[in-house]
Amino acid sequence: MAIDFTFPPEVEDARQRMRAFVDEDVRPTEERLVSETAGRADWRAELDRLRARARELELWMPHMPREWGGVEYGPTALAAVSAEAAKSRFGSYVVNCYAPDEGNMHTLLHSGPTSRRTGT
């Protein structure tokens, strides 16, 4: 019996959008900065620009709820977009879904003083 690894259309769309962002924006920027032996200020400016672009493309914080500024993908979509983001050195950082901060955000979401669980 074969296993069907096909994603639902909305998950595939999210995965393809992340793939395009990484392939067309993130990776070329990284490669250019490396080839130019860019300094810290140049890297910082470009990473900030890419992070702003991730927000525009609604790829920012794919693991967090919309009211916290995220995209609120479910587990399957999150796995799919995280795999695409990880194909670049700074992809996960650019979309603000990288260790250890991702786990810290989840902890605050579920157990922090204004968590959804407690409703406070």
24-41 pLDDT, tens digit per residue, is 999 999 999 999 999 999
pLDDT tier for residue 107 given thresholds of 50, 70 and 90: low
Domains and CATH numbers, the chain: 9-111 (1.10.540.10)
Cβ atoms of residues 81 and 14 within 8 Å: yes
Q: Does residue 118 register a pLDDT over 50? A: no
Tell me the one-letter amino acid at 82.
S
- Choose among 103, 107, 62: nearest CA to 82: 62
Indicate the pTM of the whole model. 0.82
